[in-house]
Amino acid sequence: MYAKEIPSDEDEVSENHNAMRQQSSMPTGQGGEDDEDYWDDDGFEGTPLEEYSTPLNYDNGEDEYQFFTSALLRVQNTDAAWYQCLTASLGDDQKKQLQEIYSISQQRRSTTAKGQW
């Protein structure tokens, strides 16, 4: 009785590697595939979550920095304990990022106010 050899993934990897080496040694324009064949346009479609729209996605003048800052300040003013829980575990870099978001919000608010005069 002969033992049947079990195919291994190493054989496939070796074959794929050899095929890739042959294609890369061919001059451009010769070979099995063009770049256009390689890319599938369907791969660029977003997932349902990425395609989900919120009021912030619409171009209705709602600024995400101002929205976030307003919400965070509202929590700070109405429920200090919850605000403390939210911000207590933030590291120095994260606290700095929050301050930058607040600064950007203030800059945008002042720019918007100047544009309305």
pLDDT of residue 58: 64
State the residue for tokens 């109405």: 78
Tokens 């919400």, residue?
A: 71
Count Cβ neighbours within 10 Å for each residue of 19-38 and write b for 16 or more, e otherwise. Answer: eeeeeeeeeeeeeeeeeeee
DSSP of the chain, one letter per residue?
Answer: -PPPPPP-HHHHHHHHHHHHHHHHHSPTT-SS--HHHH--GGGGSPPHHHH---TTTSSSS--HHHHHHHHHHHHHHH-HHHHHHHHHT--HHHHHHHHHHHHHHHHHHHHHHHHT-
Q: Please tell me the pTM assigned to this model.
A: 0.48
Q: Is residue 70 part of a domain?
A: yes
Give the range of the structural domain holding residue 79, as residue numbers without chain letter: 60-112
- Based on the structure, what is the number of domains in the chain? 1
- pLDDT < 50 stretches in the chain: none
- For position 22, what pLDDT does the model report? 66
Position 43 in a domain: no
In a domain, 23, yes or no: no
99: in domain: yes
In a domain, 76, yes or no: yes
